[in-house]
Structure 1
């Protein structure tokens, strides 16, 4: 016997609406977010130095701009390397008291890991975590178009999760 609150469908009843609270697209949307989406909110400002500048100048710029790394470019703006606070601290341990007069090209990382605006954020996060680096220049057609940090990626992902949680609450509450 059917529960008393149940009423069998009758001829003429409207067809039930089909709803999908979860779709493959909604469940995987965060894995498909690209670097360009992050840069839309962050901006494309990239601070750079020349290889002949001194570490003293770099330290001042890092402090002034409140950043942790600078890209090293030639006179045409082509990427030559990257120099981070971590690079400077390591050299200070190796050459105490002699680091500040050294040139950028002596300390910079030449084999720079880069990404493109079309790369997926989750892939970039994995590369940064596995490679143990925190800054990644963004190149489009060989030209610098931005810089992202692991903090940018994590912050962006947290905002996505907050938004998804809010959407779920709204669905539940109505």
Structure 2
């Protein structure tokens, strides 16, 4: 069973973040530039304030007819987020994203964001684990 630590070791700990006071258009530009669907929102000093995603943009800017140039990230970000630690297991994280209906889990250690795990990372880990178990069963049967 893979842990968040192992997931981050294989994918890297890079986290893209934005300030809650930045304009939403800047968040969307950064997501487009990096080819990602969400950003961690960090207060000055690095405290986790929330997450902002393409979903937030679509629902709270586009559908509401608001201006992405004049609206700060703080106004559309999701502040009530769930975080995980380095020793959390991938299946437990998968359960969290399923139950909370989120796609990203910030990894926090001692109050600092050290990584981000996406639902794609978790699906990949679960598939790899299942493939490993299947291979072991096939070896057992054929030997």
TM-score, length of structure 1 as denominator length: 0.76
Runs of 4+ in 1 over 6 A off after TM superposition: none
Task: Note if contact 2:50-2:80 (Cα within 8 Å) is conserved in structure 1.
Answer: yes
Worse-matched range after superposition: 58-67 or 100-109: 100-109
RMSD: 1.4
Q: Check if 1:52 corresponds to 2:26.
A: no
- Number of residue pairs matched? 142
1:149 maps to which residue? 118
Structure with max Cα Rg: 1
How many Å separate the matches in 2 of 1:100 and 1:131?
Answer: 30
Q: 1:94 aligns with which of 61, 64, 89?
A: 64
Q: Deviations over 1:32-65 (max 9, x none)?
A: x321121121111110001111111111111111
8 Å Cα contact 2:24-2:69 kept in structure 1: yes
Query: Within 5 A, what are the aligned runs for 1:100-111?
Result: 100-111=69-80
How many Å apart are 1:168 and its aligned residue? 2.1
Find the residue that maps to 2:79 and give its secondary structure: coil
For structure 1, the 5+ residue unaligned runs are 1-29
- TM-score for the superposition, normalised by structure 2: 0.92
Unmatched 5+ residue regions in structure 2? none
